[in-house]
Amino acid sequence: MKPLSECRVAVIGLGLMGASLCMDLKRRNLCREVRGVTRNFSTILRAFHEDAVDLATTDLSSGVAGADVVILSTPVRAVVTMLGTLESILWPGTIVMDMGSTKAEICEAMDRLPPRVQPIGGHPMTGKETAGYASAECGLYEGAPWVLTPLPRTSTETVELASELAQAIGAFPITMEPVRHDRLVAAISHLPYLLASGLVHTVNDSGASDAAVWDLAAGGFRDTSRVAASDTQMFLDILMTNRDAVLAQLDTLEGHLTELKTLLADKNEDALRTKLSCSQARRAAWQPNRGAFASQTND
């Protein structure tokens, strides 16, 4: 298998994540060729003229022809659909990766790819509330975890190349099973989105009777509601492809909220203090840790 420096890399989807990846690969001179594939012709022109890619096209077949690595950077359900399209046009030996936020359904679809290609799931844990090519930037992946979810058929060399790519753009790879990934991100990513959405609706209801609530909203509301501004279609794909894990996390959250509500209603200040102090201490002690999962592989 070729090292990354000799690979032709085709990125399908030039939104925030895909375009940022292309910019890093191109401007750091990390591979032999960077290709961008998207349906939007104006994005193709912009990416090419801004030197984010070496080649750009709206034609999927020509975009992936002869590529050593094909990376799908589209919404989750679009990735699943596109894998069915790609199976007949990928060259033998091609590595197929993705950057989707859920992994179990994507990896099941990847396993249906023909034996001549090498599939591996991926999810870089970074992003913004804003989407599209205009939001892309170099360095987006710097310091971010990049989860890799190999299939049983995925070769060791493929995992090594995927890890090399992640590390080359400043991320750090973490390998785990798709189901485990989906269970964990349901708690730390998908549940917070629903919480933020619920918060915005609650404040909006309050504002219906007194619009001054929006004048008073400051840092606390801004920080806790931030992810509610994320792309709706993207999160619909995420929620519908990780429904069971998200529902389980909502059940857990509901239990904690019910407990807090009961303690407050009962004016049980001592127990409420203990509950709040516990969460305060746990959050204060948490620090992003590159090595937290580095030694943990599939469970």
Terminal-to-terminal C-alpha distance of the chain: 28
Burial of 223 (0-12, 13-18, 19+ CB in 10 A): exposed
Tokens of 115: 């034996």
- Domain limit, last residue, from 175, 197, 227: 175
Question: What is the structure's pLDDT at 129?
Answer: 84
Provide the domain count of the chain.
2
Q: Do 206 and 267 belong together in one domain?
A: yes
Taking only the tens place, the pLDDT of each residue in 177-208 is 999 999 999 999 999 999 999 999 999 999 99
In this predicted structure, the answer to whether residue 150 has a pLDDT above a threshold of 90 is yes
Residues 52, 56, 60, 66: is their CA dihedral positive or negative? negative
Indicate which CATH number applies to the domain containing 216: 1.10.3660.10
Q: What is the b/e burial string over 21-33, where b = at least 16 CB atoms within 10 angstroms of the residue's CB?
A: bbbbbbeeebbeb
Taking only the tens place, the pLDDT of each residue in 77-110 is 999 999 999 999 999 999 999 999 999 999 999 9
φ, ψ (nearest 5 deg) of residue 89:
-120, -5
Question: What is the structure's pLDDT at 296?
Answer: 35
The C-alpha atoms of residue 72 and residue 121 are separated, in whole angstroms, by 10
In this predicted structure, the answer to whether residue 299 has a pLDDT above a threshold of 50 is no
| Strand partners of residue 70 | 10, 96
Provide the 10 A C-beta neighbour count for residue 171: 24
Mean pLDDT score of the chain: 94
In this predicted structure, the answer to whether residue 295 has a pLDDT above a threshold of 80 is no
Q: Do 135 and 78 belong together in one domain?
A: yes
